[in-house]
Amino acid sequence: MSCPAKASPCAPVTLSRGPVARVDHCPQCNVISIHLGATSIRLEPAAYEALWGTLSHALRVLRGLTEAPEATPTMWTSSGGSA
Find the binder of Zn ion among 22, 29, 41, 42 (CB under 5 A): 29
**Which amino acid makes up residue 6?**
K
C-alpha torsion angle, residues 71, 61, 67, 69 (rounded to 10):
0
Could you say whether residue 32 binds Zn ion (CB under 5 A)?
no
- 36 φ/ψ angles, rounded to the nearest 5 degrees: -120, 95
CB 44 within 8 A of CB 31: yes
- Determine, following the binding rule CB under 5 A, whether residue 3 of this chain makes contact with Zn ion: yes
Rounded least distance, CB 9 to Zn ion, Å: 8
* Cβ 28 to Zn ion shortest distance, Å: 4
**Residue 26 near Zn ion by CB under 5 A:** yes
User: Taking CB under 5 A as the rule, does residue 47 contact Zn ion?
Assistant: no
For CA atoms 62, 64, 66, 70, give the dihedral sign. positive
Residues of this chain that bind Zn ion (CB under 5 A): 3, 10, 26, 28-29
